[in-house]
A and B are shown apart, each in its own frame.
Chain A
């Protein structure tokens, strides 16, 4: 158990809909990272928040947005969903901003299926 909690574990919805994925980092971790993993793309970095502020941005679509709340949990919002958004979405956390030898610890992921 990494200590990172993601909910829900599975989500099934239709094209055009909007969903929210939730992540609680490990106790004491200030950074939260979101990743998308699909069969043909591997693990793709989406966005990082550190202590409530956006820290780094990857290949995140404009239809996707995220935020980190004062209690450090984070939410990833996916809107106008398309079939290609079907993937496993992972949240990870780390102690600091992500430098040095700090590994990222991953949650179990949310499996999103778009019908």
Chain B
């Protein structure tokens, strides 16, 4: 099975940087995904990591350490529209298991 932990809530100021951590324990690992979900809307794909290291995509970066069962999502130059829930998801062979999500609130 999968056990995925991420903080429940984080608050940051517009223009700042926020790092959302995700730790996982899995019976198998075949990649880690980050999704963004605004309240009442569909999750949208942000990033994918399967090898150790940092993947950068514009203002968003994601890091993975497989040996530590650890990932983080880094949001830079925060904007008000970044207020949302961020979901860490781990895949075993085919199935995605999602963490409970981290609600990020961006304040002016």
Q: Which residues of A line the B interface, CB within 8 A? A: 2, 4, 33, 42-45, 48, 55-56, 58, 88, 90, 97-101, 103-109
Contacts and interface: CB of A to CB of B under 8 A. Distances in A.
Contacts, number: 54
B13 interface: no
Q: Chain B: interface residue count, which band?
A: 20 to 34
A107 B45 contact: no
Interface of B is mostly: loop
B23 to A, nearest CB: 16
A64 to B, nearest CB: 16
Interface of B: 30-31, 33, 40-45, 48, 50, 87, 91, 93-101
Nearest to B2: A45
Nearest to A50: B94
A90 B96 contact: no
A107 B45 CA distance: 12
A98 B94 contact: yes
Contacts of B93: 56, 99
